[in-house]
Amino acid sequence: DGVPGVEAMKRVLESLNLNMVEMVDENATLDGGDVLFTGREFFVGLSKRTNQRGAEILADTFKDYAVSTVPVHDSLHLKSFCSMAGPNLIAIGSSEAAQKALKTMQQMSDHRYDKLTVPDDAAANCIYLNIPSKGHVLLHRAPEEYPESAKVFEKLKDHMLIPIANTELEKVDGALTCCSVLINKTSEL
């Protein structure tokens, strides 16, 4: 009936009593790698894996947040070259495509985000966590993979930095954010 991995994830999320919305429009596509939530608004990359109808369903689901679309060319999806690196901080790659997407996001937003530009687009895909006992935590690509980008992350003195080697998963388009599901729940799990 459904895709096995999707069904397994659905069962896990249901067991956590999380609200879920299923996209039942067969014309809609929405890949998590194309959805960047800043804490204030959503940016949705329009790519080979996400279309306008998928972005519209996201907007209908999260009516309290602005949803803006960003064309994605020459990359798998939006988070192939950007992600949130802090509460108001967008990590962005240096490529022309990444910088063009950032400019689009800046034009569509009423908010001014700080930016952290890294030399390598793939390294801009990082995971920011705000953990009560630890503060700002950032999982980022390891220095042995992207040494110049790692130097940029090391300038974030108020973050606990955790370098992650991801070379093998990257070979099958698995970026850090693709390989994680962040759930904001208390620790009674």
Out of 73, 77, 111, 126, which one is annotated catalytic?
77
Instruction: Give 3-state DSSP helix, strand, coil % of the chain, rounded to 5.
Output: 30, 25, 45
Out of 126, 159, 178, 179, which one is annotated catalytic?
178
CA dist 89 and 83 (Å) reads 9
The yes-or-no answer on residue 77 being catalytic is yes
Radius of gyration for the alpha carbons in the chain, expressed in angstroms and rounded: 17
Measured in whole angstroms, the distance separating CA 177 from the mean position of its chain's CA atoms is 6
Bridge partners (DSSP) listed for residue 130: 136
| CB contact at 8 A, 124 and 118 | yes
Which residues are the active-site residues?
A: 77, 178
